[in-house]
Amino acid sequence: EPEVTQTPSHQVTQMGQEVILRCVPISNHLYFYWYRQILGQKVEFLVSFYNNEISEKSEIFDDQFSVERPDGSNFTLKIRSTKLEDSAMYFCASSGGTLNTGELFFGEGSRLTVL
């Protein structure tokens, strides 16, 4: 069964460093998302991406964040200068295949720890 894959599963970084989280969405999907879950809290929407551009972003998604689809398969989230409060689990999701049911398919997540 097709699935969304994310790398790395866990990354530890120093405050102020740049981090890139990578995702491979399901191949025929058209919509891509990043969500964040701070430990013990709810899953929060960061950004959605369609047709090679951001379609919607939350107030969390400030200038420190960027997304890119550099080739036909990868979808990346970059944090330019990490802060302690960026420590969280980051989930990538995709949707919108040939039979779009509105369901988002999530990856296993990338845990980011900022020291």
Partner 1 sequence: AQSVTQLDSQVPVFEEAPVELRCNYSSSVSVYLFWYVQYPNQGLQLLLKYLSGSTLVKGINGFEAEFNKSQTSFHLRKPSVHISDTAEYFCAVSSGGSNYKLTFGKGTLLTVNP
Residue ranges in contact with partner 1 by CB under 8 A = 31, 33, 35, 41-45, 48, 50, 55-56, 91, 95-96, 100-109
DSSP state of 87: -
Note whether 30 and 56 are within 8 A (CB): no
In angstroms, what is the minimal distance from the CB of 62 to partner 1? 18
Tokens representing 4?
Answer: 């969304």
Q: Which is nearer to partner 1, 19 or 34 (CB)?
A: 34
- What is the C-alpha to C-alpha distance for residues 100 and 91, in angstroms, rounded to an integer? 20
Q: Which is nearer to partner 1, 75 or 91 (CB)?
A: 91
User: What's 33-78 look like in SS3?
Assistant: EEEEECCCCCEEEEEEEECCEEEEECCCCCCCEEEECCCCCCEEEE
In angstroms, what is the minimal distance from the CB of 46 to partner 1? 10
Q: Which is nearer to partner 1, 31 or 76 (CB)?
A: 31
In angstroms, what is the minimal distance from the CB of 26 to partner 1? 13
In angstroms, what is the minimal distance from the CB of 76 to partner 1? 18
